[in-house]
Amino acid sequence: MDVVLAETAGFCMGVDLALTRLDTLIDNAEGRPIYILGPIIHNPQVLKEYADKGVTKVDTPEDVPGGAYAVIRAHGVPRQVEDGLKSRDVFVKDVTCPRVKKAQLLIARHTAGGAELLLYGEADHPEVAGLVSYASHDYFVFGSPEELDRHELNPDKKYVLAAQTTQDRVLFDQIADRLSADEKVQVEVLRTICDATRLRQAEAKRLASEVDFMVVVGGYISGNTRRLAQVVTDAGTPCQHIETVVDLELDELAGYARIGVTAGASTPRNLIDEVLDGLKSL
């Protein structure tokens, strides 16, 4: 059996930077408690490691006591939450991914004149909650072209189209092209999907065409990991999305001659290596 690992598998720049900043804060906190607003990244194994180091995850900013550090996670938070933290006796440490922060600021700038934001993304995702908070006026979140079709667009109104940074680039481009070609719609397109996401999805699709089976490693709550698995499935290659090697039915894979492995942007290298070792044991 051949086992092929995608070059782009594992931590992206934004995740790596966020965790590096958190590690530095832990080393220099001098006893001051550290709280994170929600999971810093969507990987349960990483979250447990930081919980064991004394980092506390909370769901609301009110749960962060005065005098403590409040870490803004890689996905970002609504700007009202950040403003509220800064108005209190809380030390704010912002580790928002630079690509997400750029998307937030672009949305704020381009909707300032009154345009409605059309955001392609997952309505219940924390990154999306942060992005739409930067819209100066109305916004509409849609997860598919069909949802957007059901949203009536006013020809007398201006729109800004953007996307959650980890969305499918190909599908977003199709949506953008269709709206731009409609003479009745005044739309400005913001290219907010991260290049790392695009490259990771393109490599997963290419690798899927060269192997008999694909394994996608990453948190089940990780949106970008789920989309990797969907890209592979859409390419017609059998695929399994797992969090760790214990989720892998190794005996069922023994009949495949060539297996590809990729991983989400929030998947640490040690979990990838454990999956590789498990497959190579076959």
Which residues are marked as active site?
127
Could you tell me whether strands 158-163 and 239-242 are parallel, antiparallel, or unpaired per DSSP bridges?
unpaired
Distance CA 67, CA 25 (A): 15
The answer to whether 211 touches 260, Cβ cutoff 8 Å, is yes
Distance CA 61, CA 155 (A): 40
